[in-house]
Amino acid sequence: MKLRTGLLLGVAFAAGLTIGPVSNQLAQRYGIQILPAAFAQDGSNGETYRMLKLFGDVFDRVRAEYVEPVNDRDLIENAINGMLTGLDPHSNYMNAKSYGDMQVQTRGEFGGLGIEVTQENGFIKVISPIDDTPASRAGVKPGDLILALDGKTVQGLSLNDAVDKMRGPANSRIKLTIKRGGNDQPLELSMNREVIKVQVVKSHMEGTDIAYIRMTGFTEQTDNGLRKAMQSLRQQAGDHLRGVILDLRNNPGGLLDQAVAVSDDFIDQGEIVSTRARHPEDSQRWNAKDGDITGGLPLVVLTNGGSASASEIVAGALQDHRRAILVGTRTFGKGSVQTVIPLEANGAMRLTTARYYTPSGRSIQGLGITPDIEVHSSRTETPHFGPEREADLNRVLLNTGGTPQQSAPARNDLPPIARDIPKLPPEGFPTYDQTKSDTDFQLQQALAVVRAMPVSKRASR
């Protein structure tokens, strides 16, 4: 969640591995520091040395006797990843390519075409071209099947591999072969890649008086996108804007500094979040600066089990400050901070380095944030075929260090309508369609709540 660009903690996989030829080979090829003799003779570290020697022995045996030849780099990268993933669900090793992909995600921009795609029957299907991008200007349409890229079939490629081939440096050219419904012959569309900015903030007016803002992630573009959306919606509403709904449902999180900035946009003063690391000097606290981009308008935040990490920081801060009313279901419960540590030319490691705490001192690790008004999206629970929340993961961190009170205190500032908000949709409620807000039961209840909240004198000026 938190990105640092310096080599902060050094390479964890840097102690000596074995005595003998393989040690020297590893040292020369991968820059691994061999264990000094004084360390090996230190009785207090003897067990560590023996285990590192065991690793070297296993490495030698696998290289010599595995059924097929194996690449040394693959073996070592797998070992590093095993060391990190054995710690907790969120620590891991990223090779150079994975690290590059992660940087693209957090920047929220990349060289590409501007198409949202999925995979269908071995081909790449266009969900939608993004407005004002090379794909939209070239005439790519929703439902198009991409058959080939620069004349080479996409069959046999994974979705990620196909996306990688469509991305590339700005101004580089690419040709798409497309099958479109109703056309017997494939179409060939050529276009130049451009810098595409991922739209992580989407907004519209609900009626004439409520601003609706949805965030799908916390990238470097999020806070700026929020401010632009708020400015645009204010202009659309004129003097009629009376409330804001911030939708964080299914938002998996992202950058810590963006979570802090978004929270600060709605809070005038006080703590936003604090982190506590293994070493007290590495612990941090962030406080709000004066200024609320809404002018104090009523605010409702929508959450569900897919709201995680940075989303929970925002929801927790707004709830603890009584700045917003949370509507929906309990959040995911990821209360830890990961630091991304570059490893020179060998990718990076994502390492859990701290737990975070809401302004009241709560740790939500493994617990999540309980909304002020519980509202479910449907009458029947959606079946899950994997972990539903942080507490369901293996090797999950313990919830420690926070206040004994693990949930927000009961609120006495909810509007009277809160008592009448149903938890479940009525029988026969329309099936959810993301293009029609009146089929979104949680949103409809959030609208009722925000319209029932009093508008402060400050906001009505």
**pLDDT at 430 > cutoff 60:** yes
Residues 175 and 415 sit within 8 Å (Cβ to Cβ): no
Pick the closest to residue 354 from 275, 279, 285 (CA basis): 275
In this prediction, residue 80 has a pLDDT band, given cuts at 50, 70 and 90, of very high
**pLDDT at 163 > cutoff 50:** yes
In this prediction, residue 42 has a pLDDT band, given cuts at 50, 70 and 90, of low
CA–CA gap between residue 70 and residue 58 (Å, rounded):
13
Residues 34 and 14 sit within 8 Å (Cβ to Cβ): no
Count of CB atoms situated within 10 Å of the CB of 224? 15
Which superfamily is assigned to 201-460 in CATH? 2-enoyl-CoA Hydratase; Chain A, domain 1 (3.90.226.10)
The Cα diameter of the chain in Å comes to 78
**Pairing between β-strand 92-94 and β-strand 336-342 as defined by DSSP bridges:** unpaired
Pick the closest to residue 442 from 237, 199, 246 (CA basis): 246
pLDDT of residue 224: 96
CATH level 2 (architecture), domain 109-197 = Roll (2.30)
| Residues involved in catalysis | 309, 320, 334
Q: What own/partner pairs with CB < 8 Å and gap ≥ 24 does 49-53 have?
A: 49/16, 52/15, 52/16, 52/17, 52/18, 53/17, 53/18, 53/19
> Each residue of 96-124: pLDDT tens digit?
888 888 888 888 888 899 888 888 777 88
> Each residue of 366-423: pLDDT tens digit?
999 999 999 999 988 766 555 678 988 888 999 998 888 777 778 899 999 999 999 9
The pTM for the full model equals 0.80
> Each residue of 241-279: pLDDT tens digit?
999 999 999 999 999 999 999 999 999 999 999 999 999
Pick the closest to residue 459 from 340, 323, 365 (CA basis): 323
- Kindly list the domain boundaries of the chain, sorted by start residue: 2-85, 109-197, 201-460
> Each residue of 333-360: pLDDT tens digit?
999 999 999 998 779 999 999 999 999 9
